[in-house]
Amino acid sequence: MTVTAVRKDPQALTMILEAEFEATAERVWQLWADPRQLERWWGPPTYPATFTKHELAPGSRVEYHMTGPAGDQPKGYWDVLETDAPHRLVFRDGFANDDGTPNDEFPRAEARVTIEDLGGGRTRMSIQHTFPSAEAMEQVLAMGMEEGLTQAVGQIDAILAEGVARSA
């Protein structure tokens, strides 16, 4: 159990999740900074993600798509707002059209990732997610991503385990 706290504020449309890892801040940062590692956890096992453009610098746009069981490929992007490796990453997370342009019909949530060394080889990561409106949140959830969730939660997929062995 690595998730140590979850705070939800329905009025502020904010959710804060904290997790601790037995790893250095630099190692946890790599999960975000290395697109090949990011691909191993961003999408649920049923919707693996592929990052086609990835540079964590303020003002840059990260692009990815997911691949569903029926071959469907929903696209998404992040607009990077702030970076301070290996401690902070702030981005807006949105959906994109088939040609990769931002889909403005779908709202964007802001994610603020904070990574801090706790000493003794432990690191705390907190993610604060803020939605512009409740409707925005509903739309994001309605994208069908939650269908893969039940399978994803608590499940360590064989491919991911392989990745552990490779990256160890």
Partner 1 sequence: MQIAPPDFDRMFGALADRTRRDIVRRAIDGEEGVAELAGHYPMSFAAVQKHVAILERAGLVTKVRSGRRKVVRTNLEALRVARRLLDQYEELWRGRVDRMTALVTGSKEADR
- Beta-carbon count within 10 A of 154 CB: 7
Residues 6+ apart with CB under 8 A from 77: 61, 62, 63, 64, 93, 94, 95, 96, 100, 102
Q: Is 118 in the site for partner 1 (CB under 8 A)?
A: no
Stretch that binds partner 1, among 57-65, 88-96, 97-105, 140-148 (CB under 8 A): 140-148
Stretch that binds partner 1, among 25-33, 52-60, 72-80, 112-120 (CB under 8 A): 25-33
For residues 44-63, which are near partner 1 according to CB under 8 A? 44
The amino acid occupying position 6 is V
CA–CA separation, 61 and 93 (whole Å): 10
Residues that bind partner 1 (CB under 8 A): 2-3, 6, 8, 10-11, 13, 15, 17, 19, 21-23, 27-28, 31, 37, 40-42, 44, 125, 127, 129, 133-135, 137-138, 140-141, 145-146, 149, 152-158, 160-165, 167-168
